[in-house]
Structure 1
Amino acid sequence: MTYLRTIGEVIGFLLVCAVVIVKDIVKFFIPKRYKMKSINGEIALVTGGGGGLGRLLSLRLANLGAIVVVWDINEAGIEETVKLVRAAGGSCYGYVCDLCDREDIYKKARIIKEEIGKVTILINNAGIVTGMKFLDTPDKLIIRTMDVNVMSHFWTAKAFLPTMLENKKGHIVSVASLAGQVGIQKLVDYCTSKFAAMGFDEALRMELENEECNIHTTVVCPYFIRSTGMFDDVRASYIPTLSPNVVADRIVTAMRCNEKYAIIPGYLQILLALKWLFPWPCVAMFLRGLVQDASPSHPSFVTAATINTKEMCTVPLSKDQNGAVIHQQLTRRVSSSERKP
């Protein structure tokens, strides 16, 4: 009987898989504009919203009718984002929040609930990179990377998820990286944190799906993004670095379509699958050829004594963050598919 039961379970599993695959194939051919959910009136929190990708996301979310809340350690950057969003006709609020400080995260979360309302969209976008060889990286910088890139995901989710569960509605977006799928030299701490962010998203999704609570999660894995101050001078071949506008559009679309994963650019999904098919020497040779140096301009060594505590959690802005080119990108007209419903 046990043997027959096992066979029955396997057959049942395969039948369910077949149905799911057919449904996904049908969904694939449905235009995305018909699959996108409205976020009009939702309260969306964006970490690292004081510049770069976070600012672009804030503008797009506000344009779709969401009430945007921006968290960052950079007060001037927050003020600029709030000003840009409001100038575009959106609703935006900014709070200085130290993502390395769990208690500060919980405190600011309580303030938002009291002053603005219940957050239903959480976008963990803040990220930092040291770009140094592992043994040259001071301990404090490694701790900072883990605090901002992954540990803050735990604390923000614990701060806002209970309310989402009460209302049986919510969406958590984790901005990871393709460096969370493959290892890159000079990015040991960064890759580790992004691998962890992916694991966090997948495990949390499993729990939430088991609860059947209508709370969705999306993990985003982009290639190197230019004009964000993190990988502007990366030496890479074959695949061009990404425009932050393209990445922002893709993140918003993935969230509105309740996608589980968003690999940017999408064709890299094939290369990621090949990683497990080819022998390691082939994979390593390809990765070394693809990314010669992730941080060529970074000094080879920085002593821990030179690190200012207050600067530990500051997400660096690009040199031309406030320049005309970036300002035009930030204030450009959003595509028709991304207008308010």
Structure 2
Amino acid sequence: MGWRWLGALLLLPVQLLWLAGKAAACLVLPPRLRDLSRESVLITGGGRGIGRHLATEFAKRGARKIILWGRTEKCLKETTEEIRTMGTECHYFICDVGNREEVYQQAKAVREKVGDITILVNNAAVVHGKSLMDSDDDALLKSQHINTLGQFWTTKAFLPRMLELQNGHIVCLNSVLALSAIPGAIDYCTSKASSFAFMESLTLGLLDCPGVNATTVLPFHTSTEMFQGMRIRFPKLFPPLKPETVARRTVEAVQMNQALLLLPWTMNILVILKSILPQSALEEIHKFSGSYTCMNTFKGRT
């Protein structure tokens, strides 16, 4: 028993070096992308913003079916018509992912009308852009229900069948604010941090589930109406991401079976700095970059 333990301990550094080298090689060599022609993709919050661009990107890359969930029928209908003009089968369902009973009911309707879902993209989110003391209690609950608990309900609704088929992918459109919170968005930051922990636990839990994987995407500020009015100090140095860029990189990450994606790549530096710098130094970075006051001009959509 002791020798076996020692052998495993000695083997671990070799395995880590091999995996690190393999990951580095993937950055240089052209990746082998997963074929999406047999996949049925469900996107929550799919009527507008990043969700709409995700739908068009999956369609461009040959997804067999696109299913959109959201709360606003007008936006869902417009996006559905756009996808259909691209020659891809598309359906939409009115669904508030923060409502557990509604999620389970609409998941059943999707299975009956469309069939099995093999890629689930949890994209729906809300932000209220207020401090804790200025926030309405119901608004705070709404953020947690949609941004965090909604993932529990959608994943529980579709993951069992993916495990049966040994074919599935759970995707979470999260935010870099899950790792580095800012004032003025305490509801959003809290919910995204919880969502990140959910996906980290889920990803590890799927290690022994062949054919089923997970991807978490952590983008920087993206230029959608959701965060309209948000301002940082050096917009030319840290420009907001385009939603179509986030969508393209997300679909690529799914095709490459990439577990974690930070956008842009410079956000990896932020993770390192948070690990080594004292809190006082991190506070100075927030003040210097303007993230400390970036929500003061917020007037986005909730």
Give the alignment's TM-score, normalised by structure 2: 0.93
1:96 aligned partner: 94
Q: Deviations over 1:145-167 (max 9, x none)?
A: 01111110010000000000000
Tell me what 1:72 maps to.
70
Work out which of the residue numbers 40, 59, 64 in structure 2 matches 1:43: 40
Contact 2:231 2:297 (8 Å CA) reproduced = no
Q: Given residue 42 of structure 2, which amino acid in structure 1 is its aligned partner?
A: L
Q: Percent sequence identity over matched residues?
A: 31
Inter-partner Cα distance in structure 2 for 1:7 and 1:289: 48
CA distance in 1, matches of 2:76, 2:174: 22
Per-residue CA deviation, residues 88-122 of structure 1 (Å, 9 max, x unaligned), is 22221000001121011001111111111100000
**8 Å contact from structure 2 (residues 80, 91) kept in 1:** yes
Superposition CA RMSD, Å: 1.7
Which secondary structure does the structure 1 equivalent of 2:98 belong to? coil
In structure 1, what is the equivalent of residue 286 of structure 2? Answer: 287
Change (3 A) 1:90 1:293: farther
The residue aligned with 2:53 is 56
Three-state SS of the structure 1 residue aligned to 2:181 is coil
- The CA deviation at 1:6 is 4.7
Q: In the TM superposition, what is the alpha-carbon distance from 1:232 to its structure 2 partner? A: 2.0
Structure 2 unmatched ranges of 5 or more:
none
Please give the per-residue CA displacement for 1:43-100, whole angstroms capped at 9, x wherever unaligned: 1000001111101111111122221000000011111111111122222100000112
3-state DSSP class of the match of 1:295?
helix
Structure 1 residues 126-152: Cα deviation after superposition (integer angstroms, max 9, x where no partner): 111011011111111111001111110
> Counterpart in 1 of 2:172?
174
The CA distance in 2 between the partners of 1:294 and 1:145, in whole Å, is 20
Report the CA distance between 1:19 and its aligned residue: 2.1
**Secondary structure at the counterpart of residue 145 of structure 1:** helix
Q: Counterpart in 2 of 1:264?
A: 263
- 1:71-220 maps to which residues of 2 (within 5 A)? 71-209=69-207, 211-220=208-217
Q: 1:114 to 1:224 in 2, by over 3 A?
A: same
Instruction: State how far apart, in whole Å, the 2-side matches of 1:316 and 1:86 are.
Output: 27
The question of whether the paired residues in 1 share the 8 Å contact of 2:227 and 2:301 is answered with: no
Displacement of 1:213 in angstroms is 2.0
Of 52-61 and 13-22, the range deviating more from structure 2: 13-22
Structure 1 unaligned blocks of 5 or more: 300-314, 318-341
State the one-letter code of the partner of 2:107: A
Higher-RCO chain (CA-CA 8 Å, sequence separation at least 6): 1
Q: How big is the shift at 1:298?
A: 4.9
* Alignment partners' CA distance in 2, 1:123 and 1:298: 27
